Amino acid sequence: MLTEIAQLVLNGLMAGTILAVPAIGFTAIYAVLRFPNFSIASQVTIGAFAGYVANVYFGLPAPVAVAFAFLVSGISGVICDEVVLRPMRPTGPLATAITAVALTIVLENVVRFWFGNDLRGYDLPVLRDWRFGELRVSPQQVENLVIAVIAMACLFAFLAFSRMGKAMRAVADNPTLASIKGIDAITIGRLVSFVGMGLAGLGGMLLGLDTSIDPLTGFRVILTVFAAAVVGGLGSIPGAVVGALTIGVAEELSLLVLDPAYRSAIGFVAILLVLTLRPRGILGERAF
Amino acid sequence: MENYIVAMLVFSGLYGLMALGLNVVWGMAGMINLGLVGFFAVGAYTSALLTKLAGVPIWLGVIAGALAAATAGVAMALTTAKLRGDYLAIVTLGFSEVVRIAASNEIWLTNGTDGVSGIPGPWRGLVTPEAFNLIFLALVAIVVAIVVFLLQRVRHAPYGRVLRAIRDDDQVAAVAGKTVIRFKVEAFALGCGVIGLSGALYGHYTSYIAPDGFVPLITIYIVLALTAGGTGNNYGAVFGSLLVVFFMESTRFITEVVPGLQPVQVAALREMLIGGSLILILRLRPTGLLPERSPQITLAEEKAT
């Protein structure tokens, strides 16, 4: 029993670390652009398929393919934001959110048009699980974990030390003050769309590496991604990490008492609990 | 062909009811609801199971379905009433997914992904299928007419004015002494009840419901219908639903225009068109084809002159 719990917590922490990547993307976009960008679901899928193309068609190893996933999703995210979402923003966050849902439907079907509905798997070496006493870990999970941690470390370094990163935090913190200081909100908006959607795509590929991918990959995890962002505090990047780890572990531990089919309902319950008990999330809404 | 057209009109009516429900929640009270299809499913399952398993008469089942959806709406609104609109978007979206998961997995009650079949319909089996179709169309038309009439009353009543005030600025409404939360919860319940009513009718019409029939795409259809018709306008909601069903059905003939497509590609193209047109309408004509006009009040002195 105790080993079982330890195994579940371990699995949960690993799943949570990967979940944190798209959750950071969602929350960063929310912090700067102030609307829930539902189209992150489709960028998760686009990233997963971009990585698939790089991995299976071009034969690149997974750690290189994730960079490709990041780039493709990031660029597609910026283009979609420029063409579809930015013109909607003056009409208010709710109209923009609905537009983002419509955008998700379009993009998801672009992927479906080219790749069909079939499940696809990445081209990965088959490796034996590592054992630590009673606990089991697959080398692929560890590799995913390392990629996720590196991506997050890069992001934190970017936000903490680079000029653009600081500008991004400034806009998130106080847009008026930032614009008085001469920070161009539109450039920062493009930057956050690129980084946020890039992270979503990278996260999509990491999620797909564990299982398989299809055009609904992004939509299936979107509730969990929201849950991670809301539980940690919508708009807070460290919050998204804390939230993702919490949700990851909670989902795994729920297997002790619940049918596995209800895993994705955990996110919903977590959102309701947090909104009722602590509406601003575990870490509040400060961006960084 | 006649049967096909009648069936499409029935679906327009059912979508119209959902759009009317959404119009109460979003058009009148300004709350987002991306979980429409969840409330639709609650209504459909409640009525289907009550009539099939417990032998409840159909009309009672339909009322129970509407009430069950309204109750779910109250629970949802109470949990999220104090939160900003964007949270409501996330929570309602999550709700509809949870309903679908529950419907797929609570096999003892809902028969899981196999769905519930053999749901009774009014006079089904007693008349020819063509006649059943026509009877149901008349029934749906009457229900839509009644709901439009009642919602028009709500809209013109002081109650509707309070809802619009809350939509436009809930702080001002609160300062004017309105209990904003009570109005929001009531509007949400009313809207979800109408959506549940549509779901219940849907089950009795098709005689079969399954979790696959309650995908989030339906929510998009309805949002599109209401936005295209005119958010805030009850007639717009019905008109928009007719348009959406007509539009969706005409895209079926895409294969004849673009040959050599796989069925999955045709399905993808159709969904792209749906999403794309919603984006275009929101961008180019956000008020819809029949824009909302606030009811005018003729003041006493104006009447005198």
* B59/chain A closest Cα distance in angstroms: 33
Q: Where do the structural domains in chain B lie, given as residue ranges?
A: 2-215
* B158/chain A closest Cα distance in angstroms: 26
Show the tokens assigned to B144. 């839509």
The secondary structure of A17-36 as a DSSP string is HHHHHHHHHHHHHHHHH-S-
- pLDDT tens-digit series, residues A216-257: 999 889 989 999 999 988 889 999 999 999 999 999 999 998
Residue of A nearest to B281 (CA): A99
Element (H, E) at B208: strand B208-209
Is some CB atom of chain B closer than 8 A to the CB atom of A95? yes
- Residue range B259-274: mean pLDDT, rounded: 86
In this model, does residue B303 exceed pLDDT 60? no
Q: Do B223 and A98 touch (CB under 8 A)?
A: yes
Out of B87, B91, B271, the one facing A105 most closely (by C-beta) is B271
In this model, does residue B204 exceed pLDDT 60? yes
Contacts of B13 (CB under 8 A, 6+ apart): B137, B140, B141, B143, B144, B241
- Residue range B39-60: mean pLDDT, rounded: 94
How many angstroms separate the Cα of B111 from the Cα of each of A127, A235, B114?
40, 41, 6
- pLDDT tens-digit series, residues A178-193: 989 889 989 999 999 9
Model pLDDT, residue A258: 87
Which of residues A24 and B294 earns the better pLDDT score?
A: A24
Contacts of A83 (CB under 8 A, 6+ apart): none
* A109/chain B closest Cα distance in angstroms: 5
Mutate to test the interface with B, among A113, A225, A231 (most CBs of B within 10 A): A113
- Residue range B197-203: mean pLDDT, rounded: 96
> A98 to chain B: which residues are within 8 Å by CB?
32, 34, 223, 227, 278, 282
CA distance A218 to B133: 39
Q: Which long-range contacts (CB under 8 A, 24 or more apart) does B68-71 make?
A: B68/B42, B68/B43, B68/B196, B69/B39, B69/B40, B69/B42, B69/B43, B69/B192, B69/B193, B69/B195, B69/B196, B69/B197, B69/B199, B70/B189, B70/B190, B70/B192, B70/B193, B70/B196, B71/B189
Q: Do A94 and B217 touch (CB under 8 A)?
A: no
- Residue range B223-243: mean pLDDT, rounded: 93
Q: Do A98 and B278 touch (CB under 8 A)?
A: yes
Is some CB atom of chain B closer than 8 A to the CB atom of A115? no
The closest of B63, B273, B89, B190 to A100, measured between CA atoms, is B89
B230 dihedral zone (left: phi>0; alpha: psi -120 to 50; beta): left
Is some CB atom of chain B closer than 8 A to the CB atom of A65? no
Element (H, E) at B117: strand B116-117
- Residue range A154-182: mean pLDDT, rounded: 91
Query: pTM to 2 decimals?
Result: 0.90
In this model, does residue B207 exceed pLDDT 70? yes
Model pLDDT, residue A233: 87
In this model, does residue A100 exceed pLDDT 90? yes
Is some CB atom of chain B closer than 8 A to the CB atom of A102? yes
The closest of B223, B249, B244, B238 to B290, measured between CA atoms, is B238
Model confidence at A210, pLDDT cuts 50, 70, 90, reads: confident
In this model, does residue B77 exceed pLDDT 70? yes
B34 contacts B219 by C-beta, under 8 angstroms: yes
Instruction: Sort strands A130-132 and A135-137 into parallel, antiparallel or unpaired.
Output: antiparallel
The closest of B141, B202, B155 to B29, measured between CA atoms, is B155
Q: Do B275 and A109 touch (CB under 8 A)?
A: yes
Show the tokens assigned to A98. 């609905």
Model pLDDT, residue B87: 82
Is some CB atom of chain B closer than 8 A to the CB atom of A83? no
How many angstroms separate the Cα of B247 from the Cα of each of A25, B82, B224, B240, B273?
35, 38, 11, 10, 9
Out of B79, B85, B274, the one facing A94 most closely (by C-beta) is B85
What is the three-class DSSP state of A278? coil
Q: Do A95 and B286 touch (CB under 8 A)?
A: yes
Mutate to test the interface with A, among B282, B283, B285, B287 (most CBs of A within 10 A): B282
* A86/chain B closest Cα distance in angstroms: 11
In this model, does residue B254 exceed pLDDT 80? no
In this model, does residue B281 exceed pLDDT 80? yes
Taking each continuous run of H as one helix and of E as one strand, the counts in chain B are 14, 2
Contacts of B71 (CB under 8 A, 6+ apart): B189
Model pLDDT, residue A215: 93
Model pLDDT, residue A155: 93
CA distance A204 to A184: 30
Mutate to test the interface with A, among B22, B25, B87, B90 (most CBs of A within 10 A): B90
Q: Do A272 and B267 touch (CB under 8 A)?
A: no
Out of B89, B101, B278, the one facing A261 most closely (by C-beta) is B101
Work out the mean pLDDT of chain A and round it to a whole number.
91
Instruction: State the burial class of residue B3 (Cβ atoms within 10 Å of its Cβ: 0-12, 13-18, 19+).
Output: exposed
Model confidence at A173, pLDDT cuts 50, 70, 90, reads: confident
Model pLDDT, residue A127: 81
Here the ipTM equals: 0.88
Q: Do B98 and A265 touch (CB under 8 A)?
A: yes
Q: Do A262 and B101 touch (CB under 8 A)?
A: yes
In this model, does residue A124 exceed pLDDT 90? no
Mutate to test the interface with B, among A35, A258, A275, A277 (most CBs of B within 10 A): A275
The secondary structure of B141-158 as a DSSP string is HHHHHHHHHHHHHHHHSH
Buried b (16+ CB within 10 A) or exposed e, B104-129: bbeeeebbbeebbeebbbbebeeeee
- Residue range A119-124: mean pLDDT, rounded: 89
The closest of B7, B41, B34 to B249, measured between CA atoms, is B7
- Residue range A40-44: mean pLDDT, rounded: 96
Model pLDDT, residue B136: 94
Model confidence at A132, pLDDT cuts 50, 70, 90, reads: confident
Instruction: State the burial class of residue A119 (Cβ atoms within 10 Å of its Cβ: 0-12, 13-18, 19+).
Output: exposed
Q: Quick one: CA dihedral A69, A70, A75, A76, positive or negative?
A: positive
Residue A137 pairs in a beta bridge with A130
> B272 to chain A: which residues are within 8 Å by CB?
105-106, 109-110, 113
Model pLDDT, residue A282: 78
Instruction: Scan residues 236-265 of A and list those with Cβ closer than 8 Å to B.
Output: 259, 261-262, 264-265
